[in-house]
Structure 1
Amino acid sequence: MLRIGLTGGIGSGKSTVLQMLAGLGAASIDADAISRGVTAPGGAAIPLIRQRFGPPFIAGDGGMDRARMREHAYAHPAARKQLEEIIHPLVGQESERQALAAESSGARCLVFDIPLLVESGRWRSRVHRVLVVDCRAETQVQRVTARSGLQPDEVRAIIAAQAPRALRLAAADIVICNEGLQLPQLQAEVEEVARTFGL
């Protein structure tokens, strides 16, 4: 089974590319969804987060207080690193469990949707190829502010906390440039790449 690591900065169109690949027959694993699961009420990361950061970072429902943690983690890089040290191993374990299930079900191609593929350093050895969805930073800001209600400066802070664009591109085996493309054009790009994956 071919394992593809899919990544890209916020607002790059990575999730759209993942949906297109799934539509072409790829199995997929969403690292972000797993991350949200382990930090949700009753999630495996909650006791560790409470122990490391204290009760104020646990919301009333028992899950991680995302807004408070986001603000704290972006203001304090050491805190972000501590949070990643809690979450990444748990995400890795669950991803591997899902990967084995996909393989045993006969999937030919498995796409790992990993926003922090370059940053984590853990993923490169687990995938055969890295696919990066790329666009300019200003395009990212425009897309995210339009869909999320975040202010441009907040989006720029998120972009600054992610791996630099040049570093993502350097890690890529394949790049889809999602700049100025309409959906049918992006679909055509994805189909061309998917053929090289045997889809």
Structure 2
Amino acid sequence: MFLVGLTGGIATGKSTVSKMFRRLGVPVIDADKIARDVVEPGKPAWKKIKETFGDEMLLEDGHLNREEMGRHIFSDENKRKQLNAITHPEIRNAMFWEILFYFLKGYQFVVLDLPLLFESRNMLSFVSYVVVVSCTEGQQLQRLIARNKFSKEEALQRIESQMPLTEKCRMATVIIDNSGTEEMTEKQIMDVYKKLQRSRAHWPLRIVGWSSIAFVMWLALKILWSVF
């Protein structure tokens, strides 16, 4: 099995592309969903956030106040780095177990929806292909304002906190132009899907993976044999 990194700028349409991949039967691991899960009340990341940023970042029911946290970290890069240092290890661990699950299920490839793939670089060395979802700067700004009800200044602040979209496109294996109709985007996804299906990148990784599993099983049996 090989991994496909899916990224882009905020509000460029990664969620739309993820849904299209899912409709084709491709497993998609959503880093944003995992990021929400790992900060649920009582979890380790939630406790660290509470200790680091205080109770004012929490709602009355104990859940993270995302709007307040957003205002807090997007105006201060150091605080954003603090939050990332708390959440990113938890996100990576959760992603690992999902990847292992799909590997054991025998899938050829899995898509990792990673908004900050290039910014964090934590998973970049593990992906065989990088798909970047792009649109025009004007569309990105308008979509973000409409989706999140941000002011223009708030929207620009969030866009500028990420790596420029043009730079991400330069590092992409494939670019999905999401500036047109949904049908146009879907056609591009189908072309990418066929290309990934033809790839043989999964064979070396699968051989190594199964060899590792076989070694662990052999070692466990040897230990049990020595005990009994």
Instruction: State the TM-score, normalizing by the size of structure 1.
Output: 0.94
How far off is 1:145 after superposition? 2.1
How far off is 1:58 after superposition? 2.4
How far off is 1:126 after superposition? 1.8
8 Å contact kept, 1:27–1:111:
yes
Pairing 1:6–2:6 present: yes
Pairing 1:198–2:207 present: no
- How large is the RMSD of aligned CA atoms in angstroms? 1.4
8 Å contact kept, 1:43–1:63:
no
8 Å contact kept, 1:3–1:128:
yes
Report the equivalent of 2:222.
Answer: none
Report the equivalent of 2:87.
Answer: 87
2:45 is aligned with what amino acid? A
Report the equivalent of 2:204.
Answer: none
How far off is 1:74 after superposition? 0.8
Gaps of 5+ in 1: none
1:55-134 aligned at under 5 Å gives the runs: 55-134=55-134
Distance across 2 between alignment mates of 1:168 and 1:71: 25
- Corresponding residue SS for 2:50: helix
How far off is 1:169 after superposition? 1.6
Gaps of 5+ in 2: 199-228
How far off is 1:151 after superposition? 2.1
Report the equivalent of 1:186.
Answer: 185
- Corresponding residue SS for 1:45: helix
Distance across 1 between alignment mates of 2:133 and 2:50: 35
Distance across 2 between alignment mates of 1:139 and 1:56: 34
2:181 is aligned with what amino acid? Q
Bigger proportion of residues as helix: 2
Instruction: State the TM-score, normalizing by the size of structure 2.
Output: 0.83
Pairing 1:38–2:38 present: yes
Which has the higher Rg, Structure 1 or Structure 2?
Answer: 2
8 Å contact kept, 1:118–1:167:
no
1:187 is aligned with what amino acid? E
- Which is further off, 147-156 or 44-53? 147-156
- Corresponding residue SS for 1:198: helix
Report the equivalent of 2:48.
Answer: 48
Report the equivalent of 1:149.
Answer: 149
- Which is further off, 103-112 or 71-80? 103-112
How far off is 1:55 after superposition? 2.1
8 Å contact kept, 1:42–1:63:
no
Residue-pair matches, total? 198
- Corresponding residue SS for 1:42: coil
User: Once the two structures are superposed, what CA deviation does each residue of 1:125-149 show, in whole Å capped at 9, x if it has no partner?
Assistant: 1211111001122111111222332
1:129 is aligned with what amino acid? Y
1:40 is aligned with what amino acid? E
- Corresponding residue SS for 1:107: coil
How far off is 1:170 after superposition? 2.8
User: Once the two structures are superposed, what CA deviation does each residue of 1:57-112 show, in whole Å capped at 9, x if it has no partner?
Assistant: 22222222211111110111000001001111100000010010011112222000
How far off is 1:40 after superposition? 2.2
Report the equivalent of 1:159.
Answer: 159
Distance across 2 between alignment mates of 1:96 and 1:192: 28
User: What is the identity percentage for the equivalent residue pairs of Structure 1 and Structure 2?
Assistant: 34
Distance across 1 between alignment mates of 2:43 and 2:7: 24
How far off is 1:171 after superposition? 2.5
How far off is 1:120 after superposition? 0.8
